[in-house]
Amino acid sequence: MEKSNDAIINTDVLETVSEWSKSGMKTAIATVIDTWGSSPRPAGSQLGVNERCEMIGSVSGGCVETAVVRECLSLLKNKKTFCFVINLNQKLSYV
């Protein structure tokens, strides 16, 4: 992971996802765009997922990470892009 202009760049995630894509696999990247309060990963953290459910990186952990992977796999099937908010005090909410 590199830091550039106060943004975290996850080169391992981006390189791996690029290789997966080049090999013909469907891929998704989840990125933490903002955090508040106590958060296990900073803004800029990324998680790459491919259609075989292989993963690289991390955006949180535990049940939150599981929810993010589930959404990524759903996006691969539906070919959509969207932003969603995970509030640890509430259920997954979409924006």
How many angstroms separate the CA atoms of 34 and 24, rounded?
Answer: 31
| Residue of 74, 84, 91 whose CA lies nearest to 33 | 84
Give the pLDDT of residue 29: 92
Query: If DSSP codes are grouped into helix, strand and coil, which group holds residue 82?
Result: coil
Give the pLDDT of residue 15: 93
| pTM for the model | 0.76
**Tens-digit pLDDT string for the chain (95 aa):** 554 444 455 689 999 999 999 999 999 999 888 877 777 788 888 999 999 999 999 988 788 888 889 989 998 988 877 777 766 655 554 44
DSSP, residue by residue, 15-65: HHHHHHHHTT--EEEEE-----SS-SS-TT-EEEEETT--EEE-SS-HHHH
